[in-house]
Structures are given as C-alpha cells and as structure tokens.
Amino acid sequence: MTTKCVKRAFKYRFHPTDAQAAELSRTFGCVRKVYNLALAARTEAWARQERINYNATSAMLTAWKKTEELAYLNDVSSVPLQQSLRHLQAAFTHFFGKRAKYPRFKSRKNSRKSAEYTTSGFRFRDGELTLAKMTGSLDIVWSRPLPEGATPSTVTVSQDAAGRWFVSLLCEDPEVKPLPATDAAVGIDVGLDHLLTLSTGEKIANPRHERRDRTRLARAQRNLAKKAEGDGANRRKARIKVAKIYVRITDRRRDNLHKLTTRLVRENQTIVIEDLTVRNMIRNHTLARAISDASWSEFRSMLEYKAAWYGREVIAVDRFFPSSKLCSACGALAERMPLHVRTWTCDGCGTVHDRDVNAAENLLAAGLAVSVCGAGVRPQRSFPGGRSAVKQKTPRREP
C-alpha cells in the first residue's frame, strides 16, 4: 500500500523588475475585476432564484474580453483569471454547505493582492520560474530548498501591505510522513499570562509581540492620521511604514507558533486542547487586544494540520467543560473561580492547585477518555446541561 504524498506550499520572497512589478499589478487588478463581475452576475441570478455555476461565468469571461470596455483583460494571462472564477465557485460551495458566509466583493485597497497560476501558466526549470506573458524569470530568494525532484502544481504570486513580493509553490513533499508512534500525551491550556500551560507543569511564556512594538506602531499611526486623505506620496509612505510594523509583529508571532506546534506534535501522540470560541471572546474589549496578540486560533490551526501530516491526534474538549474549577485530584467542583484567582485549594481533599496546570491536567484526562472509549462516546464524567465534555476533532486542513 503506497502512502499519498502531502502537498505543501513553499513560500519565498522575490524581487521583481519594474516591468514585472507593473505586469503583476495589472494582473492583480484584472483578477479582482473578474471576481467582482462574476460575483455580481451570480448575485443578480441569486436574486432571481437562479444559480450560475463556474462554466457559465467562464463563458461570461470570454464575452467580457470581446467588449471594448473590458478589452484590457486580454493583456494579462488568462490562467489567473480562470482561477479567480474557480475560487469564487469554491466560495459559493462553502456558502451553500453552510461553512462560510456569502462571498464579498474584493476591495482595491483592502483585499489581498494575489494571482494563482496552474501548470499551463508558468514554466519551472533548473530553479528558474517564469510566468506567462512576463519577460524574464523571477529573482527568487531561495531561503530553503524545495523537495528533491519536486515540480510545482500551482504557483501563487502575492504582494503584502508592506510592499513585499512573495511566490508560493505548491509541491508534493515525500519527507512529510507519519512519525513513530509514542505513548506521550499532553493537555494544553492557553492563556494570556502564559501563552501555553502543559499538563506536565511546563509553562511557556507569552512573547506579547504586539505590546513590544506598540509605541512604534502608535507613533506611525498618528503620523498616518495627519496625512491628507487620498493617494498622495506622503500618505502612501506613512501607510507602508505602519504596514511594515504590522508584518514584523505577524512574522515573529507566526515563527514562534510554528516552533511551538512542531515541537508539540513531534513529542506527543495525543494532544488535548480546549474548543474555545475566540470570535466571541474578543468581543470583550478589555481583553480583545491581548487575545488577538496571543493568536489562539492560529495556534490551533497549525496544531491540527501538522498532526494530520505526522499521524498524531488532536482532541478538542468542549468549551463548557469546567477544567479550571474541577479538582484534578479528587474530582470536586468549585462553585466559583474568578479570573484573578491563580492558585486555589480544593475543599474536598485540600490539594493546592495552580489554576492553569490543573486545567491542563483536567483537559488531558477528559481527552484521554474519548481517545480510549472511541470517538462519539460520552465520557463518564459529565456536568449540568447534558453536554458532552469532549468531542473528537476532525482536522480542518486536508493533508
């Protein structure tokens, strides 16, 4: 039985020439235009209780190119334009499947600038990448090697708010395969004072990346606010300066989360986390900034897809499970546990608990109950309301 290779995206920075940058900017604009036109057509049909699929929008694209008003669509490669229609079809599929909201129009200022090329839209030979209708190969900074003999199936070119250019190559990676099985299991309680607290008693500090750059960010934002509205050069420079601070924060945060999740997946066979609704939690304006900086959702996403890659198991415990108020020694349930209480003594057995370590231990116990009994089996310990304490987590990202 052969194991199917995992497809991974390898992302690199590149430095385009002026001509290449101009061509890519035109492509981004055309991709956005085609997406919005197709979305408008499908929305109008939706209002008439009709449905338009990808094939219909593809035929519309051919007709649009023949009009005088949209003739400029012929100046760029047709591949990323077709891919934008496929992305719109995927967005509607998720909408009809009740997995996402109704697709929104792309904004010139706020939407991500990107274009996706399939194999017919690029050439990759001897480490050189050339895109359709573009002069010369891209000057890519190869910060890490591609898998030996890898051939990209798709190439995505993008530009972030700070003006940096990136190219992402989707390739099969034979090096990603299940790790040797182990008996190790860990429960993880996320927090703000400490980013992670493990059931082993280890506490991992919260780097607070946003707080470290908050003064620089506030100064840059004040400078931007003083610039006149419009597309002037001074305002553009001020906006890019703000964006550079944001991407610095984002890059450091993502790098730290990658290191943590890779370590946890390599060391443990079973990882138990809490099923937090971060979207609702950030409505608390007192904690919203700190929760967003901790990036719990991104941590969970990384943990899940890496576990799927390497043959590990991630179990999510229901958010209503009282992990902090439950004594991990005797099972007694405390009546109240305000956030400011970091250590507490169990009235039943007298054990002194560190709040976060106790929560991580309870999460681990509840998760192992599901792992032993099997998915969908209600664990022995339950709590008022008839809710199941834990649920098996299906990875969001396919390997």
> Tens digits of per-residue pLDDT, 294-323?
999 999 999 999 999 999 999 999 888 888
23, 116, 210, 274: the catalytic one is 274
Confidence at residue 374, expressed as pLDDT on a 0 to 100 scale: 54
Is 298 labeled as catalytic in the residue annotation? no
- Centre a 10 Å sphere on the Cβ of residue 298 and count the other Cβ atoms it contains: 16
- Cross-strand bridge partners of residue 118: 154
Confidence at residue 348, expressed as pLDDT on a 0 to 100 scale: 82
Confidence of residue 3 (pLDDT cuts 50, 70, 90): low
> Tens digits of per-residue pLDDT, 93-148?
999 999 999 999 999 888 899 999 999 999 999 889 999 999 899 999 999 999 88
Q: What is the share, in percent, of the chain residues with pLDDT greater than 90?
A: 66
pLDDT over 80 (residue 58) = yes
189, 293, 313, 361: the catalytic one is 189
Q: pTM (2 decimals)? A: 0.83
Confidence of residue 345 (pLDDT cuts 50, 70, 90): confident
116, 293, 304, 356: the catalytic one is 356
Confidence at residue 215, expressed as pLDDT on a 0 to 100 scale: 94
Is 356 labeled as catalytic in the residue annotation? yes
Per residue, the 3-state secondary structure of the chain, as one string, reads: CCCCCEEEEEEEEECCCHHHHHHHHHHHHHHHHHHHHHHHHHHHHHHCCCCCCHHHHHHHHHHHHCCCCCHHHHHCCHHHHHHHHHHHHHHHHHHHCCCCCCCCCCCCCCCCEEEEEEHHHEEEECCEEEECCCCCCCCECCCCCCCCCCCCCEEEEEECCCCCEEEEEEEEECCCCCCCCCCCEEEEEECCCEEEEECCCCEEECCCHHHHCHHHHHHHHHHHHCCCCCCCHHHHHHHHHHHHHHHHHHHHHHHHHHHHHHHHHHHCCEEEEECCCHHHHCCCCCCHHHHHHHCHHHHHHHHHHHHHHHCCEEEEECCCCCCCCECCCCCCECCCCCCCCCEEECCCCCCEEEHHHHHHHHHHHHHHHHHHHCCCCCCCCCCCCCCCCEEECCCCCCC
Confidence at residue 373, expressed as pLDDT on a 0 to 100 scale: 62
Is 354 labeled as catalytic in the residue annotation? no
Mean pLDDT, residues 154-159 taken together: 97
